[in-house]
Amino acid sequence: LMLAWKKRAFPRANCQLTGLFAWHRFSVVNRDQVKARIAELTDQLNYHNYRYYILDDPKITDAEYDRLFDELCALEKQFTDLRQPDSPTQRVGAPPSDKFESVRHSLPMLSLNKATKPEELADFDRRIGELLAGDPEPIEYVTEEKLDGLAVELVYRDSLFILGSTRGDGTTGENITPNLKTVRTIPLRLQKCNAVMLEVRGEIIIKKSDFARLNRQREEAGEEPYANPRNTAAGSVRQLDSQVTASRPLIFYAYGIGNVEGATLKTQWEVLQFLRDIGFLITPQAKLVADRKEVRQRYDYFNDRRAALDYDIDGLVVKVNSLRQQQKLGELSRSPRWAIAMKFPPQQEETIVEDIVVQVGRTGILTPVAHLKPVRVGGVEVKRASLHNYDEIIRKDIRIGDRVIVQRAGDVIPQVVKSFKEKRSSAEKQFAMPARCPVCGSPVSKLETEAYHRCLNLACPAQVAERISHFAGKSGVDIDGLGPKLIEQLLEQKLIADFADLYYLKRDDIASLDRMAEQSADNLIIALERSKDTDLPHLLVACGIPNVGEHVASLLADEVGSLEKIAAASETELSAIVGIGPVVAQSIRDFFANEENQQVIKKLKSVWSKLPEHQISVGPLPLKGKTFVLTGGLERYSRNQAKKILQKLGAKVSSLVTKKTDYVIAGSDPGSKYEKAVKLDITILLEDDFLKLIGED
> How do beta strands 663-666 and 627-631 pair?
parallel
What pLDDT shows up at residue 139?
95
Return the SS3 of 148: coil
Region for 382 from its dihedrals, namely left if φ exceeds 0, alpha if ψ lies in -120 to 50, beta otherwise: beta
Whole-angstrom distance, CA of residue 422 vs CA of residue 425? 9
Q: Each residue of 181-201: b (16+ CB within 10 Å) or e?
A: bbbbbbbbbbeebebebbbbb
For residue 333, what are the CA distances in angstroms to 113, 171, 668, 687?
A: 11, 12, 20, 21
Burial of 371 (0-12, 13-18, 19+ CB in 10 A): middle
Confidence (pLDDT) at 617: 54
pLDDT digits 0-9 by tens, 269-307: 999 999 999 999 998 899 999 999 999 999 999 988 887
82: buried, middle or exposed (CB in 10 Å: 19+, 13-18, 0-12)? Answer: middle
CB 232 within 8 A of CB 300: no
Between strands 150-157 and 160-166, the pairing is antiparallel
Task: Please tell me the predicted confidence (pLDDT) of residue 561.
Answer: 84
Residue numbers of the chain with a pLDDT score lower than 70 = 1-29, 52-56, 91-99, 222, 333, 378-379, 409-412, 449, 458, 579, 615-620, 640, 669, 697
For the full predicted model, state whether its pTM sits above 0.75.
no
Largest CA distance in the chain: 110
Beta bridge partners of 349: 406
End-to-end CA distance of the chain: 71
Amino acid 10: pLDDT: 39
Q: What is the pLDDT of residue 17?
A: 38
Would you say 237 and 245 are in contact if contact means Cβ atoms under 8 Å apart?
yes
Residue-level pLDDT at 11: 39
Are 616 and 558 spatial neighbours (Cβ–Cβ below 8 Å)?
yes
Give the catalytic positions in this structure: 146
**Neighbour-count burial of 273, counting CB atoms closer than 10 A to its CB (0-12 exposed, 13-18 middle, 19+ buried):** middle
Nearest to 498 by CA among 465, 522, 526: 465
Please check whether residue 240 is in contact with residue 227, taking contact to mean a CB–CB distance below 8 angstroms: no
Distance CA 620, CA 623 (A): 9
Residue 533 confidence (pLDDT): 87
